[in-house]
Every structure is written in structure tokens, then in C-alpha cells.
Structure 1
Amino acid sequence: MRKIALIALTALPLFAGFFPSTVNTSISSVGGNTVSLRSALPVNGMSAVVIHDYGNSLEAITTYITQTASNGSAKIIGKDIIHHDELPTIKTAVSAGDKVIGGYLYNTVLLLAPDADTYAKITSSHKKLWVHPDHFAIFLTREGDAYPTKENLALFAKEYQVGLIYIVRNGSAVLLDPISGQIVGKKAMTNLPAQGRYPFFIRFEKIESGWFSKNGTGNYYQAMESI
């Protein structure tokens, strides 16, 4: 089957508890910038991709939506799914019957942790595709940003195909959906270090260029609370 943007239409494994489940549903109705889903997503704030069937075994992701109410109401939040200078921008409007994958790529996770021990404990406890924060650190230096924000996390997630940002805060952990910018999971955490490595755990001491080599001091937990 031919697919635009190499989309995966099969359901990903379901995860109970802290991690919201990835689910399949469809659009039941459309009204301007809002849509109704045939079945609600597990949590408000979860983003989803909308997939249009063009016939002749040709399908494509056309936009993102995010659920705004537990009755399955959602809003359209963007159409810039995958940009490529050599490919045309998809302009297909969302319509009733379009497929929806809620929690698309939620199995691919970036973890921002205060130290190596915390990072190792979390990543060994969950079977996820973990994107190491080293990649995000290098991304920040390339972008010239001084610290993690929802904006640069969204850009990073798009480039690296990351579905969730797992953020360890002081006494808790949250899951940020970088597409919607909403928290979709939260739980208490104990036995965390009193002070985390600023701005977050990475496997090298510094980068020779960029803000890591010049502004390496700060409070890890304050930085994570600001996201």
C-alpha cells in the first residue's frame, strides 16, 4: 500500500497507568476548526493525527488535532505535519470518516531527568523507544536556545519524531504532549536527588560551542517547573 509521509496505520501497543494509551478512532463530524470523535481519547490534551483516504490504496496524514473535552470534542491545531521542499503541502480539509490515531508516536519518548541514576531507573522500568537527552542538548545549541521550553521541545519532537516528553520535577513526573503543549500524565516520585544536574542529565560535561559551555549554572527543578 502506498502511503504519503510513511505513516503507520496499525495500532501501537496499549499502555495502562501513567502513559496514556494510543488509540484508533475516526471523525464523526466537523464544524469549522472543531471536530467530534466517534470515541473519546483517553485524556484531554492528547494530540492525534488525522488520516484521509484518497482511494486506490492512497492515504495520508493531513493534520493534527487535540482533544478538548472528555466527550470526544477536539480542535484542529495544525497542518504542517512533515515539511519537504520537494513535496507539495497537503491541503485536504478534515472530513467525517477520516481515521484518527490518538497518541501517535507516544511510544517514542524524550526523558529529562536530574541525574544518571534517575534516568537509568526510569528507562529500565518502561519498554519505550527512548530518545537520549544528548540529542536534545545538541539541538538546543544548534537553535541557540538557553533552556528547554515548550516551543523548542515541540520543534525537537517534530524533527526527531518524538511523541512524549517525560519530565522529572521536584517530587513528581509529568508527561508533556509536545504537539498540543498539554500535560497528559502526572504521578508522584520519591527518592530524587536534592539538586539535579542543570539543565538536565546528559552524558558529556559540556559542548564547546553554545550556551552549555557558557551558562552551565542554574536550578534543574526550577527549569523543569517552568515548562
Structure 2
Amino acid sequence: MRYLLTIFIFSLSLLWGSLLPSYESRLESVADGHGVIADSPNIIVGSSGVVVHTFSNGESSIIARAVVTEKNAGRATVRFEVFGALSQPALPIPGVLPKSGDKVILNYLYDRALIVVPNEDIYRQIVSSFPNIEFVNPDIAGAYLSSRSKPNPNRDDFREICALNAAGLIFIAMDGVAVFADCGSFDILRKFETNPVENYQVPFYSGIFGISPAWWKWDSAYITNYDRHYKFLLDIKD
């Protein structure tokens, strides 16, 4: 049985690269941790990116993360957050807040994605169906979780894996539904209806087996229901 509703998802897969291309705009105004930019059909609520500031010496640096929260009357509102890479001790935080004139780049790193699927057959179907997306090898994510004794990955685990692998999206396939979500906000950007899943590998398909929980970690445990676990992470209600 083919996992995906072939005509529907194949058509969308061919268009994915043009549906959410990188989009740049300048901040028109800034207030209370939010900014306003020109709207575009290339961005949707939940799209994320970065704020880039150019210093007086001509050098530029990412100073914040930006997430689209509203689109109205030709303008889009973005919420500012700490950019994940800047929270690492080895990278100094610039100490500059976003201001009018700074550049916002949205759909940032949306050409790379983590892939979370329940078996190898679905993995191969997804990779071949979305040629415009570079999927991070699931063995990398599996090895990360194994090294941290986390057979039940949460949002923060996936955010860290995305940051380490320069990925802006996460694709998650479940029984009856599959989604592309922003890897930072976990907002669902695209949702597809699918056929039933016949077999599962937990926490997801990869070449890394036997990821065990650690008894000294209260949040480390085996996944007992694959679909329920990922629907919870994505805030999908049955």
C-alpha cells in the first residue's frame, strides 16, 4: 500500500520549493518585542527566520529570530526571539536589539529538514517525493538521542538537532496525517492526508537501534504510542 495520497501530495511536493522560498524585507517599525514588515504570499503565519543587523563598520550579524504571528492589510507582524545559535556559550550575543531598517529573512533554512517517519518504506517515499528538500540523515538525529539517552524526543531535542544541522523544517509522518512544521516554533506549515501506517520503528526510522532511557532522567522513557507522541508535540487534536 502506498503511504501517501499520491496525486495530492505529489502535486504539492513539486510546488514546495516555490511555495515557501526565502523572503527578505526590512523592519518598518518595532515595538514591544514585535516588528512590522511588508507582507508577501511567500510567507505564512508560523514562518520563521532571522533578523540581520548591519553595523557601522559594514559587517552584518544575526541578532534575533523572527516568527510571523499575523498578516493583515499588506503588512506582516513578526515576534522576536533569541536565535538558537546565539544561546551557545561559544558564540557571543551581539547585544543589539532589532530596530527599524534591520533586514528580516523569513523561511530561513527551509531547504533543509529533519525527517521523522515510522518506517523505511515511508522514508524512501518522502525523500523521493520532495526533491527540493535536503533531508538530514535520520541516523544523525538517532545518534544524538542515543548519546543523551532520550528515546522520547521532545520539541527542545528536535530544535537542538535542527540547530546543529542547519535545518529549518521538520517533516513528521503519522497514521493518517503528515506535516511540515517549523523546527523552532513547531507551527504546522503544510499538512497532508495519508494512508494508514502498517508498522512502526520508535522513536522514528533510522539505523540507530536500542536507544535506551536513563533511570536518572525523569523525562527519559520509551515511546508507547508513536502517533500520540508526535501529535502531542505538534498540538494536533484527534
Measure how far apart 1:173 and its partner are.
Answer: 0.9
Unaligned stretches of 5+ residues in structure 2: 1-14, 215-219, 234-238
Q: How many residues align?
A: 209
Which amino acid is 2:231 matched to? E
1:226 paired residue number: 232
- 1:53-74 CA distance string (max 9 Å, x none): 1144311111001111123011
- Aligned in 2, Cα 1:167/1:86: closer, same or farther, shift over 3 Å? closer
Within a 5 Å distance, the mapping from 1:65-80 to structure 2 comes to: 65-71=66-72, 72-80=76-84
User: Is the CA contact 2:143–2:208 (under 8 Å) kept in the aligned structure 1?
Assistant: no
1:135 paired residue number: 140
Structure richer in helix, relative to its length: 2
Measure how far apart 1:83 and its partner are.
Answer: 4.8
2:24 paired residue number: 24
Measure how far apart 1:92 and its partner are.
Answer: 0.8
1:107 and 2:108 aligned: no
Percent identical: 23
Which amino acid is 1:186 matched to? K
1:4 paired residue number: none
User: Is the CA contact 1:173–1:187 (under 8 Å) kept in the aligned structure 2?
Assistant: yes
Match of 2:205 among 176, 194, 201: 201
- Aligned in 2, Cα 1:81/1:27: closer, same or farther, shift over 3 Å? farther
1:166 and 2:171 aligned: yes
Q: Hey, what's the Cα distance between the residues in 2 that align with 1:110 and 1:34?
A: 28
Q: TM-score, normalised by structure 2?
A: 0.78
Measure how far apart 1:112 and its partner are.
Answer: 0.5
Unaligned stretches of 5+ residues in structure 1: 1-12
Q: Hey, what's the Cα distance between the residues in 2 that align with 1:102 and 1:145?
A: 31
Quote the RMSD (CA, aligned, Å).
2.5
- Aligned in 2, Cα 1:106/1:79: closer, same or farther, shift over 3 Å? closer
